[in-house]
Amino acid sequence: MYFLYSLLLTLGLCALLPFFLLAALRHGKYLTGLGGRLGGVEPLDTGGRPVIWLHCVSVGEAQAARPLAQALRSRYPSHALVVSTTTLTGQQLA
């Protein structure tokens, strides 16, 4: 059963890959931040402070996390607060 599942996923990926590549080249929105999603993120200079990391997928989550970020900032003023997102609009808001 696992083999069949893996086979179907692989065939589905191969069938849809050209579509996703064309969409990425046409619109460019999937290419923005691709290096970061693949681990190519520059190290942050936090000055040796402890880090609190909030990850928000979308704009809605970034907006919902705003009160949490404010509370964390006031409770832990000596910590660096890092917010990451996966969407371009989420990055613009963060």
Residue 91's pLDDT is 67
Domain region containing 74: 46-94
CA-based end-to-end distance of the chain: 43
Residues 57 and 83 grouped into a single domain = yes
pLDDT of residue 90: 65
Do 24 and 52 fall within a single domain?
no
Q: How many Å separate Cα 7 from the centre of its chain?
A: 28
> Does 20 share its domain with 56?
no
Q: What is the pLDDT of residue 46?
A: 81
Q: Within this chain, do residues 93 and 51 fall inside the same structural domain, yes or no? A: yes
Both structure tokens of 10: 């692989």
Each of the 94 residues of the chain gets a pLDDT tens digit; together they read 899 999 999 999 999 989 888 888 887 767 777 777 777 777 878 888 999 999 888 888 888 999 999 999 999 999 999 888 877 666 666 5
37 occurs within a structural domain = no
pTM for the model? 0.60
Is residue 68 located within the same domain as residue 92? yes
